Amino acid sequence: MGRLFDFMLPDNKSPLTADSTDGLFHFINEVSLIFLVGITIALIYFAIKYKRKSEDDKTPVITHNNTLEITWSVIPLLIVMVVFGWGYSGWLNLKAVPNDAYEIQATGYKWNWNFNYENGAQTLNELHVPKGRPIKVVMQSRDVLHSFFIPDYRVKHDVVPGRYTYVWFQAEETGESVIFCTEYCGTSHSDMLAKVIVHEPDEFEQWLELNGGGIQGTPVEQGEQLVSLQGCQTCHSIDGSPKIGPTFKGIWEREQQLTDGSTVVVDENYIRESILYPGNKVVAGYQNVMSPYEGRLSDDEITNIIEYLKTIN
């Protein structure tokens, strides 16, 4: 605390992952500032002191000085080796997940984050975690590259399709922190935000129990929950307002013009096809940007979503 460059960093809310990073950040900034001030003073001083007096000025012949060359090679070398070692050890710490870490599965897709908990609880763009316990977030991507970044915890990792990656942290105070996607992923990349919500441990247990057990209710209710959990409303409005994809309002049995000029009437089969293979029949005026849900939703789930879509008018 109280360091010169404190104003540059956001609050440190996960000391176990952030302390080393912050310390190094301040160290490099302070050493650099000393060098920069030195360089600037030298430049200004020389410019004034050795200002050209006349066109016939004679200057001394100073070709080189090995002592100086060695000095200004070795000193910076030593400093950067310290920086390397410090950064390396901090990074090892970021890779080494504590054994008792609580694991949460995360899925990134255009343009939402989906979180799954051990008891089947699911959330969209809200990562609920208990305070004072190491959390490991195991991440996968459904479509393109994303990157999971929590500035308050100084953790970040790319989310790569076809492999799992992870980050870990331990929040020490309750409250909220923002999660950014930092790997460019298309139109709404900058809206692919989520937040971490840190609870007291017992509060978290309650929350988990309340939301556990997955999706329940009538088919329409289940469909509604699915639509909200899958983040469909990021691109499809339910009030008729224009977004990246066609609105859900009045979608049932609507006649749609497609990009190839033909028209379809929206029925069960069209909705099913559009969820599983969105690129097959794209509505005119829209881009083919949706990720295919093939293998992500069961037939029953799709049926429930269709039932729900029928009710939006």
Partner 1 sequence: MAITEAKKMTTLQVKRFKPSENPTNTFLTDEKGVWAWMTTVDHKKIGIMYLVAVAFFFALAGFLAIALRTELWTPAKTFIEADTYNQLFTLHGAMMVFFVLVPSIPAALGNFILPMQLGAKDVAFPRLNLASLYIYVAGAIFTFAALASGGFDTGWTFYTPYSSDSNAAGVIWVTLGVFILGFSSILTGTNFITTIHKLRAPGITWDRLPLNIWALYATSIIQVLATPVLAITILLLSFENIMDIGIFDPALGGDPVLFQHFFWFYSHPAVYIMIVPGFGIISEVISTFSKKTVFGYWAIALSSLAIAFIGFLVWGHHMFTSGQSAVATTVFSFLTFLVGIPTGIKIFNWIATLYRGSIDMKTPMLYVFIFLFLFSIGGFTGIMLGALSVDIHLHDTYYVVAHFHYVMMGGTLIALLAGLHYWWPKMTGKMYNEKLAQISAVLIFIGFNMTFLPQFIMGAQGMPRRYYNYIDQFTPFHQTSTIGSYILGVAFLIILYYLVKSLYSGEKAPSNPWNSRGLEWQSTSPPDFHNFDHTPVVINGPYDYHKPMEEFQLGLAVSHNGHDAEHASADVNKTEEKA
- Contacts of partner 1 in 51-70 (CB under 8 A): 51-53, 55, 57-65, 68-69
Query: Exposed, middle or buried by CB within 10 Å (0-12, 13-18, 19+), for 74?
Result: exposed
Token couple for 141: 């991507």
The residue (of 80 and 284) whose beta carbon lies closer to partner 1 is 80
Residues in contact with 222: Cβ distance below 8 Å, sequence separation at least 6, in sequence order: 215, 216, 301, 304, 308
The residue (of 244 and 266) whose beta carbon lies closer to partner 1 is 244
Cα torsion through 38, 44, 50, 51, rounded to 10: 170
Which of 103, 116, 161, 228 binds partner 1 (CB under 8 A)? It is 161
- By CB under 8 A, tell whether 295 contacts partner 1: no
- By CB under 8 A, tell whether 259 contacts partner 1: no
Are 141 and 157 in contact by the 8 Å Cβ rule? The answer is: no
The residue (of 152 and 224) whose beta carbon lies closer to partner 1 is 152
How far apart are CB 311 and partner 1 at their closest, in Å?
30
- By CB under 8 A, tell whether 50 contacts partner 1: yes
Cα atoms in the Cβ-side hemisphere of radius 13 Å centred on 97: 15
The residue (of 186 and 214) whose beta carbon lies closer to partner 1 is 186
- Residue 248: phi and psi, rounded to 5, are -80, -15
- By CB under 8 A, tell whether 88 contacts partner 1: yes
State whether the Cα torsion 232-237-243-246 is positive or negative.
positive
How far apart are CB 224 and partner 1 at their closest, in Å?
27
- By CB under 8 A, tell whether 180 contacts partner 1: yes
Which of 184, 267, 273, 313 binds partner 1 (CB under 8 A)? It is 184
Token couple for 155: 């953790």
Measure the CA–CA gap between 41 and 35, rounded to whole angstroms: 10
- By CB under 8 A, tell whether 283 contacts partner 1: no
Which residues, numbered 187-216, are part of the site for partner 1 (CB under 8 A)?
A: 187-191, 193
Question: Segment near partner 1 (CB under 8 A), from 33-41, 209-217, 245-253, 298-306?
Answer: 33-41
Are 309 and 236 in contact by the 8 Å Cβ rule? The answer is: no
Any idea what DSSP says for residue 110? T
Question: Segment near partner 1 (CB under 8 A), from 35-43, 122-130, 221-229, 303-311?
Answer: 35-43
Beta-carbon neighbour count of residue 164 at 10 Å? 11
Residues binding partner 1: what is the number (CB under 8 A)? 85
Which of 4, 73, 132, 263 binds partner 1 (CB under 8 A)? It is 73
Token couple for 251: 């979608």
The residue (of 92 and 265) whose beta carbon lies closer to partner 1 is 92
The residue (of 35 and 120) whose beta carbon lies closer to partner 1 is 35
- By CB under 8 A, tell whether 277 contacts partner 1: no
Token couple for 67: 């002592």
Beta bridge partners of 279: none
How far apart are CB 244 and partner 1 at their closest, in Å?
9
